[in-house]
Structure 1
Amino acid sequence: MSLPSPGPFFDVLADHGSRTTVHLSRPLDLADDDRTAYDGEGLAALVAEAAGRLAALGVGPGERVAVIKPNHWDYVLLACAAARIGALPALISDRLPPETLQVLLKRLDATALVTTAATLRAAHEAGTDLTACVRRTLTLDGPAPGAVPVADVRGHRPPPPRRTADDAPLAIMHTSGTTGIPKLVVHSTTTLIHRIVTAEARRMPVVSSRRDDTVAQATSYAHGRGLAWTLSVLWLAPREVVILDSFDPRRAEPVLRAHPPTTLEAVPSAFVRWQPLASSPDNPFRNVRLYVNTFDAIHPPAVRTFLAASRRRRPLWVQVWGQSETGPLTFRCLTRKSVRATGERHPTTRDLGRPVPGKARLRIVDPQTLRPVPRGRPGLVLARTAALCTGYVGEPERLRAKLAGGWFATGDLGVRTRSGRLVLLDREVDTVPGGSCVEIEDVLHDRLQEVMEAVVLGRASGLPLPVLVTHGGRPLDGAVWHRAVADLPPLDEPVFLTADQLPLTATGKVRRQELRDRLLDGASPYGTGHWT
């Protein structure tokens, strides 16, 4: 049987007697009770109830529904509820600055906004009225000025599921926004379900979920990965699914101990924050056979720590690289041996492996001429994939500007090795002359155990600026720093910040442009930023 689209997905699971139990780190904002465990029938009922509420709010087929709320899995369930009535869900993280949320809502021209009173209040305190950007607003946690409380639409009978054309817009999700205003990416059933989710929902040795697995996920559910992961994993019917809404180790630890995962997918930021937890003798990762990281390159010490935490004989780490516009483009499997060497200038996790077979092709070109460069030489990474998004909301010209003869410009710089592997250098806008910020950051993490986060900011004039966050919150000894960077390209003296001073996206990436504006007084980057 073919994989159903998000609208009827949970109905189909329930009809087929799904035996997967979903455990939540906290109750859903969408739900009316304090449940933290659901079976297939319970999830189908929850999505149908949410679809009824949207219909009662006046949302109809083809209309856009924005969702902005605290991070949790109900982003995905609300997307399925909107799709169930033929509406178009647009998932937007509440971690974005209020003025950015306002820009995105104006681009969307959405019929409705699903949010919380707390989210509206936080935006209002920052001088932004989100309700003014949409025609109707629904709050999930109580009344708010200009909004309909969820109690007013509770109990409305949901309309029957509607089917939309495969090439019609299915869902909208935003990019990370590390270099400015995020883009609103549109995917169709063809690109998201047929080209991305269906491939992941096939049973493959080692890397697919098994029926006896406990599969855990920690991500920003406002991003497209949350929806794609949900559909593919639940279709494979593991014994348990564990949903973590927070990367905070104090909140994640009790859930992980109650339901020890056998496979774990998380954003790099979560893995970094959980390293002390993984280092304990009775750590909750002892039974993990498969780790997966998406969204961003991860530093070698984190991979090393988690592979060592598993008591499995040969635990595997799968690193996936891709973008919201394309889905997965490359993958690489790491083992304990792969990350054994420490402190050296070697690619390790910057080696992103090879293109996904049969799904993606890569080409490295000169950023100015767009002509292919020989293997071993750096250039702009272009990708060709049938899963490419259908466009950007409110910016129709932007996708055209990123296409060159059917190839999509990722905005990343890289090197294709003789064997066909891709080694990541930098985002083009973040590059430094004759080097790689990502490499320098990797080496700093490897050599300086005190460093929790290292960010190198390039600039057109002047040395690159290292920005460091240490575990203890204290600056490094000068002699220790200079020994660590002795063989690296010349760097400015480091700036030390505390963890709460570092501006982050919903997935834990550093907002480099915001950091640049704050620390470099608006100094121009070395890169052009043309391909962002």
Structure 2
Amino acid sequence: MKPQDPGALFDDLAARGVTTRFHLDRPLDAARGGASGSPTEWTVPGLAALVAEIAGALAAAGAGRARRVAIAKANHWDYDLIACAAIRTGAVPVKISGHLPAGSLRLLLRRAAPHVLVTDLDVLDRLTADGRTTEGLTEEGGTTVVLDRDGGLPPGTLRLDDLRGCPDPGPHRRADDEPLVIIHTSGTTGTPKLVCHTTRTIINGLARFETLPIPRLAVRRDDSLFNASSYAHGRTFCWTHVAPVLAPRHISIAAEDRPDRTDLLLRAHPPTVVEALPARYVRLRPLTRRLDNPFRDVRTFISTYDAVHPPVVRSYLAASGHRRALWMQGWGQTETGPLTFAFHTRRSVARSADGTTRMRELGRPVPFRTRLKVVDPLTLRRVPAGEPGLVLCRTGAIAPGYVGEPDRWDAKRHGGWWSTGDIGSVARDGAVRLLDREVDHSPGLSCLHTEDTLEERVPEALECVVLSRPDDWPLPVVVTEDGRLDPGRWHRAVRELPPLAEPVVLTWDEVPRTGTGKVRRTALLQQLTGEAATCGTGRWT
């Protein structure tokens, strides 16, 4: 079975007799009973019934053909279930991370102009903390639907529970090139962009590709999958239309960034395939050091969204008891889907004599689906193979555009090519090597490679971030568990590296992050120096 209409996904799986069981680290916010009273284990028929129930509620709130339904709430997989329900009504879901700052949330809602907003009281509290009302969060005459069962409601809002039991309106089918879902970019350098995908791009172009029986990567019926992500983003919408279709025995989903709770979920259903945010891999890394670590049965680790530094990858591959454990790293963007895949083994991430690894090699473009070229950022002329420059791509899965910012989209298009905004190189054999985002790139220094080296040399570092500055040495930020760093170890670590400023040492929670756990570099630079200027132009962000 290939991924089909999202509005009928779980109906189709139930009719096919898929017996996959779903396990959650906390109850779904959108289920009957809410975050405290709904079950943490689900079957496919149960999910089909839940999606139909939510679709009925959304239709009663005003969702319908070509209307938009915005979703902004606490992180959980029901982002995608609500999205499926919205699509079932004929509407276009707009997934917006509830983690975003209030100003960014309001701006994205204004651009999206939803007829229905599905949210929670925590998000509404932040949106109204400066004395504003809920007016303007939806288009005029729209409805705000609150997921919480308890607590006082702002004027003009409804509870989801009050709308349950309304007739299921769907599913409503749509043409392949009509808007299907709107999702936003990570927003590491400012307000995220809203990206509109169609059935042709995200289902036919991306999800169906992932269901192909690729050797060593294909999911088997006896597999146990584990996913820890930010469910407001595009990757999980695609994953939701892939993982259940492959019908593994178990799918476990961790919504919260709480290693203690995640550990219990992992031990209850030991995974064989793991996909997680880079930041979640960092947070769960201490679990790999236990003798009875919960990753011992994993044969494949999957990472997308952001760079993962070598010590983290090495820890997980070492924790697996599988003889040929594999780490798959995808590089791509919300607008394009994956562009390259790199595969790492224990051998490929082993440190060489000079302390380097192959982790910044991103593999090769996806065969028959993706083309890449590297150009000079100023002239846009192709540079010789192996030389760094701005990476452009061509792919049939590229989104049609940005919502509310058509000029910004057009500025990133160059003929039939689209600018990724990344600085990298493509060798003669097609191998891609990433240096930095263009906005972060510092002349004569790859921030990303320097971060790799520092994390290798500073074992107590949970994360190292190097921030480029136009008129000063790059500023290194070292994230540790307790906010401390041994000065002697630091000065040994930076020997033979390009000049760096003295480090700033922070704890994990002191670093501004996106919903996917990426460091908001511009915000961090502003926080530490009072200035937000970088060495890059930011033209392609």
Normalising by structure 1, what TM-score? 0.98
Equivalent residue for 1:263, pick from 273, 284, 293:
273
The letter for the 1-side match of 2:54 is: A
- 1:163 aligns with 173
Equivalent residue for 1:88, pick from 92, 96, 106:
92
The letter for the 1-side match of 2:3 is: L
The letter for the 1-side match of 2:296 is: R
- 2:536 aligns with 527
Could you say what secondary structure the match of 2:161 adopts? Answer: helix
Looking at structure 1, the residues matched to 88 and 458 of structure 2 have their Cα atoms a distance apart, in angstroms, of 50
Contact 1:365 1:380 in 2 (8 A): yes
Compared with structure 1, are the counterparts of its residues 237 and 64 closer, same or farther at alpha carbon in structure 2 (3 Å cutoff)? same
Shift of 1:62: 0.5
Q: 1:252 aligned to 2:262?
A: yes
Contact 1:425 1:436 in 2 (8 A): yes
Could you say what secondary structure the match of 2:189 adopts? Answer: coil
Looking at structure 2, the residues matched to 130 and 511 of structure 1 have their Cα atoms a distance apart, in angstroms, of 27
Compared with structure 1, are the counterparts of its residues 433 and 493 closer, same or farther at alpha carbon in structure 2 (3 Å cutoff)? same
- 2:4 aligns with 4
Equivalent residue for 1:497, pick from 481, 501, 506:
506
Looking at structure 1, the residues matched to 42 and 426 of structure 2 have their Cα atoms a distance apart, in angstroms, of 45
Looking at structure 2, the residues matched to 373 and 346 of structure 1 have their Cα atoms a distance apart, in angstroms, of 25
Q: 1:22 aligned to 2:22?
A: yes
Compared with structure 1, are the counterparts of its residues 316 and 467 closer, same or farther at alpha carbon in structure 2 (3 Å cutoff)? same
Contact 1:98 1:128 in 2 (8 A): no
Compared with structure 1, are the counterparts of its residues 35 and 254 closer, same or farther at alpha carbon in structure 2 (3 Å cutoff)? same
Map residues 17-166 of structure 1 onto 2, 5 A cutoff. Answer: 17-33=17-33, 34-134=38-138, 135-142=142-149, 143-146=152-155, 147-166=157-176
Looking at structure 2, the residues matched to 178 and 521 of structure 1 have their Cα atoms a distance apart, in angstroms, of 17
Shift of 1:345: 5.2
Shift of 1:523: 4.8
Contact 1:342 1:447 in 2 (8 A): no
Compared with structure 1, are the counterparts of its residues 523 and 245 closer, same or farther at alpha carbon in structure 2 (3 Å cutoff)? closer
Compared with structure 1, are the counterparts of its residues 127 and 95 closer, same or farther at alpha carbon in structure 2 (3 Å cutoff)? farther
Instruction: Give CA-to-partner distance per residue, 1:445-469, whole Å, 9 cap, x none.
Output: 1110011111111011110000111
Q: 1:517 aligned to 2:521?
A: no
Contact 2:349 2:357 in 1 (8 A): no
Map residues 318-467 of structure 1 onto 2, 5 A cutoff. Answer: 318-341=328-351, 344=354, 346-467=356-477
Equivalent pairs, count:
531
Looking at structure 1, the residues matched to 378 and 358 of structure 2 have their Cα atoms a distance apart, in angstroms, of 29
Instruction: Give CA-to-partner distance per residue, 1:459-503, whole Å, 9 cap, x none.
Output: 1111000011112321x2322211111111110111111221100
Looking at structure 2, the residues matched to 466 and 286 of structure 1 have their Cα atoms a distance apart, in angstroms, of 34
Looking at structure 1, the residues matched to 358 and 2 of structure 2 have their Cα atoms a distance apart, in angstroms, of 38
The letter for the 2-side match of 1:200 is: E
Instruction: Give CA-to-partner distance per residue, 1:264-286, whole Å, 9 cap, x none.
Output: 00011011111111111101001
- 2:479 aligns with 469
Could you say what secondary structure the match of 2:348 adopts? Answer: coil
Contact 1:86 1:163 in 2 (8 A): yes
Looking at structure 1, the residues matched to 438 and 504 of structure 2 have their Cα atoms a distance apart, in angstroms, of 23
The letter for the 2-side match of 1:517 is: Q
Looking at structure 1, the residues matched to 280 and 311 of structure 2 have their Cα atoms a distance apart, in angstroms, of 13
Looking at structure 1, the residues matched to 371 and 473 of structure 2 have their Cα atoms a distance apart, in angstroms, of 35
Task: Give the RMSD, CA atoms, in angstroms.
Answer: 1.3
The letter for the 1-side match of 2:147 is: L
Shift of 1:524: 2.0
Map residues 264-343 of structure 1 onto 2, 5 A cutoff. Answer: 264-341=274-351
The letter for the 2-side match of 1:452 is: L
Looking at structure 2, the residues matched to 186 and 459 of structure 1 have their Cα atoms a distance apart, in angstroms, of 33
Identity %: 52
